[in-house]
Amino acid sequence: MSESHLDQNVLASLLDVMGAEYPVLLDTFLIDSEERLRCLHEALTAADAQALRLAAHSFKGSCSNMGAPLLARLCKDLEEDARRERLDDAPGLVEQIEREFAIVRILLKSERQRYR
């Protein structure tokens, strides 16, 4: 796997822009991501391709903004499948998204500890 879980250049830019609010940004992303995962699960359970597409699209954007390229790519894959209403692979993709988010969460919590 050539991509890293977090793009340190993006995090450095966010720190530069956000300054003292950077830790709040990290916390907000983590809390918001939990809600986005819940929405993915709800849409998957309901087999609602449109809701799944929208939830994946939204999560993809926030992951991209926060420098989580692998997570963003997985969300993009899910979004594209849902757009085509091909939900056969959706459970596996949601599981991959959850696993990647678990890694990103650990890394961002570690990053957060640097700014207590």
Q: What is the CATH number of domain 8-113?
A: 1.20.120.160
Cα–Cα distance list, 59 to 16, 49, 54, 64, 106 (Å): 23, 15, 9, 9, 18
As a whole number of angstroms, the distance between CA 13 and CA 18 comes to 8
pTM of the model: 0.93
Low-confidence ranges of the chain (pLDDT < 70): 1-3
C-alpha triplet 79, 64, 50: angle, nearest 5° = 20
Radius of gyration of the chain (CA): 14
